[in-house]
Every structure is written in structure tokens, then in C-alpha cells.
A = this chain, B = another copy of it.
Amino acid sequence: MRRRLSSVSTPARLASPGEGLGLDELALATRNHGLPLEAMRHDITPPGLHYVLTHYDIPYVDNATTWRLTVTGEVRRARSYSLAQLRAYAAATTRVTMECAGNGRALLSPRPVSQPWLVEAVGTAEWTGVPLRLLLEEAGLTPNAVDVVFTGADHGVERGVEQDYQRGLALDVAAADNPEVLVAYAMNGTPLPPQHGGPLRLVVPGWYGMAQVKWLREINVVDAPFDGFQQSVAYRVRHAPEEAGEPVTRIAPRALLIPPGFPDFMSRTRVVATGLVKLEGRAWSGRAPVALVEVSTDGGCSWQKTELEPDHGHRWAWRRWSYCWSATPGDHVLSARAQDMAGTTQPLEQHWNLGGFANNLVQRIPVLCADPS
């Protein structure tokens, strides 16, 4: 079966220069979806507008009352929880901005052939659940514990490897209390919808989406670094296929503009009127708090500091920023860039890698300021 399965998987590849997107990339783009950028006006992304990426199918869960979450492996007391049992713990709620590790991939040159995001694979929600550290404390780790492995109910093939989706976290991340990792059963105050991992998922504040295991059914504490497919094959920053690469972890700083004015249907070019235009958007970083957001209205030649709102106690959520632009007739290119308190900022030239991961190239929005005559 392994030999035959490899026949359904195409090898990893880069698009040729000028090669448009294929039906395989489109099949991913039509079923997954990004945040329409105008929806960044909402502090919390309305239901259905948060980005979604599922590797395989969305599992069909007919009856959430029969769902079980097991905690096994290097623990003193293996556990199995129903949803009702998890809901009986004191609930924690955290506002988190999530971003796909492949956000921006389709703008890279050459383009890694995979889910083709432009810049919209992001969203912000209030997640409610049980802190993972409480479940790990209750199970009691053995001295051999090294990594915690999370298994979802989503099942498929990738590069010839049949698998349930699995990711690991080092103990210091999994058991941390700031931020707390959540075993979440609610999104914005209601049960998780199917595409966001219902009935149960992991939420790891500050990390890219691949760590946020959905349809969570098993937590397994292991005695060696986890080397499953999604940890050691996928989600590595590599420049050549033979490299082991660096793991993809926390979200790099990014600022995005809400495209101003109104769009053309097909080109998505924006049109604004002459005069003052309030530019606004969001900025976030999973590595350190955002320190500064700048905008450019001349394609990146010059940069102006924006008004950056405080985080209002939501360290792991995006922050709003704004800038008042005096638009003059003609064509303009708008950009924004964030810098975080670790000093990391966004590049004007792509930082390319083979998988198209953790790429935070600055956004460019062409705008026509229409002549009032």
C-alpha cells in the first residue's frame, strides 16, 4: 500500500518562472480561505472570516459527547477526558492572532507549489479552554518526558506518507504559564466550528498555525524529540532539499493595511478620492511585542511612523494602527511594516525558502487616486 500511496502524492516542486497556478493549487485555494483584509476592521474576526487551512478533510463529528481526549506516554497517570470533564475545569480565555506559516507563499519567486496564500492567512479569535499545563500536572510527567505530541483526527497522505496530523511541542513550551497553551473547546464564546477543530483543538499563542492541532484526540508525552512528518519533513526552513533545515516556530512580525477606498472586481486595484485618507491596519508578532509600525505611500522609498494602539491587555492579538494620508491624483503603492521589541522587522526583498514559510515580506497595495475633474 505504501508504494501505491506514493503514486497519489506529487513531489515537492517550485513553479517555473512565469508559471501560473495549477488546478492543484486552486483546489487548495478554493477550499481553504483567507481573511478578506477589510475584515481587519473588527478586533475579533467575525465567524467564517478567520483564515482556515486544513491539510486533509475536515473530520465529521456527529456527536461531540462521545469525543475523548487521552493523555498518555511518559506520565504517571494516563487519562481520558470527555468534553464535559474538560469543561468542568476553570476555563481560561485568550485572544490570539493566528497566521499560517505559509502566508505570503504565492508571492515568492520562484513560487513553492503548495497552498497559495497571498497575505491574508490570518485571523483573531477569543479561544476558551483548559490550560494544557493543568492536564500535564494532573497526569504527572515522568523524568523521561521530553516532548509532548498532539494528534488530530484529520487523516491523509502527504509526500507518500499516510498519517494523522501530528505535531510536537517541547515541554517548556507545552507546560508554560505565560503564555498558556490551551486545549480549547470554544471560539468567540461558542463551540468550535468544524473547520476550526471542533470539538477540541490546541491553541499555542504566538506560534504559526501548524502548531495549533485541530480535532485533538491524543496528547502523548514522549521520551525523545518528536520527529514525525509535520515536524521533521514539513514545516522546516530549508534552502536545499537535502538540508535538515530550521524548524518553523513563532510568528515573525507583520503589519497589514486595510486596503483603502474601493476595489475593481477583477484587478482588485483600489480607488481613493483626492484628500485625506485614513490608512489603518493591524500588526502582530509572536516573538516580542510590536514596537513600531510605519507606512510608506511611495512604494517603500520613505516611511512614516503610525499611531499604534496599546494592546489593551491582549499581548497575543494583533494591534490596530492608523495614519492619515493626504492622497494626490495619480498612482501610488502603499505598504506597512512592523518592528517588534526584539528588533525584528519586515524585509523589502523576499527572504526566500523552499517551503515558503515564515515569510513576512512587506505588503504592497497599488492605489489609484482618481482625478476629481
Residues of A within 8 A of B (CB): 1, 4-5, 7-10, 19-34, 36-39, 41-42, 46-50, 52, 54-58, 60, 106-107, 113-114, 116-118, 120, 155-158, 162, 193-196, 259, 262-269, 271, 368, 370-373
By beta carbon, the residue of chain B nearest A9 is: B264
By beta carbon, the residue of chain B nearest A114 is: B266
B1 A46 Cβ-Cβ under 8 A: no
A-B residue pairs in contact (CB < 8 Å), sample of 15:
A5-B271, A8-B267, A21-B22, A26-B118, A28-B268, A29-B29, A29-B30, A31-B34, A31-B37, A33-B52, A47-B47, A47-B193, A56-B265, A57-B263, A156-B265
By beta carbon, the residue of chain B nearest A368 is: B8
By beta carbon, the residue of chain B nearest A121 is: B30
A24 B263 Cβ-Cβ under 8 A: no
By beta carbon, the residue of chain B nearest A157 is: B264
Docked complex Cα distance between A359 and B7 (Å): 31
- What number of copies of this chain does the assembly contain? 2
By beta carbon, the residue of chain B nearest A107 is: B23
**Minimum CB–CB distance for A197 against chain B, Å:** 12
**Minimum CB–CB distance for A161 against chain B, Å:** 10
Docked complex Cα distance between A106 and B20 (Å): 13
Please give me the 8 A-B residue pairs with the lowest Cβ-Cβ distance, nearest first. A20-B20, A48-B48, A33-B33, A21-B21, A8-B269, A29-B29, A30-B34, A158-B265
B36 A156 Cβ-Cβ under 8 A: no
Docked complex Cα distance between A267 and B156 (Å): 11
A370 B266 Cβ-Cβ under 8 A: no
Residues from chain B with a CB closer than 8 A to the CB of A20 are 19-22
Given contacts A5-B271, A373-B1, contact A30 B265 (CB under 8 A): no
Residues from chain B with a CB closer than 8 A to the CB of A8 are 264, 267, 269, 271, 368
A266 B49 Cβ-Cβ under 8 A: no
B368 A266 Cβ-Cβ under 8 A: no
Docked complex Cα distance between A58 and B106 (Å): 23
Given contacts A36-B57, A370-B4, contact A267 B24 (CB under 8 A): yes
Q: 15 more A-B contacts (CB under 8 A) besides A10-B266, A157-B271?
A: A1-B373, A5-B370, A8-B264, A23-B107, A24-B267, A30-B117, A30-B120, A31-B33, A33-B33, A33-B52, A47-B47, A47-B193, A48-B50, A48-B52, A155-B262
Docked complex Cα distance between A48 and B107 (Å): 26
A24 B158 Cβ-Cβ under 8 A: no
**Minimum CB–CB distance for A50 against chain B, Å:** 8
B36, B42, B267: the one within 8 Å of A31 (CB): B36
Docked complex Cα distance between A106 and B29 (Å): 12
Docked complex Cα distance between A260 and B170 (Å): 36
A1 B116 Cβ-Cβ under 8 A: no
Docked complex Cα distance between A55 and B263 (Å): 9
Given contacts A1-B372, A29-B29, A30-B120, contact A113 B158 (CB under 8 A): no
Residues from chain B with a CB closer than 8 A to the CB of A32 are 33
B120 A31 Cβ-Cβ under 8 A: yes
**Minimum CB–CB distance for A291 against chain B, Å:** 28
A265 B1 Cβ-Cβ under 8 A: no
**Minimum CB–CB distance for A34 against chain B, Å:** 4
A56 B262 Cβ-Cβ under 8 A: yes
B21, B27, B196: the one within 8 Å of A268 (CB): B27
Residues from chain B with a CB closer than 8 A to the CB of A107 are 23
Most chain B beta carbons < 10 A, residue from A29, A54, A107, A269: A29
Residues from chain B with a CB closer than 8 A to the CB of A265 are 9, 55-56, 156-158
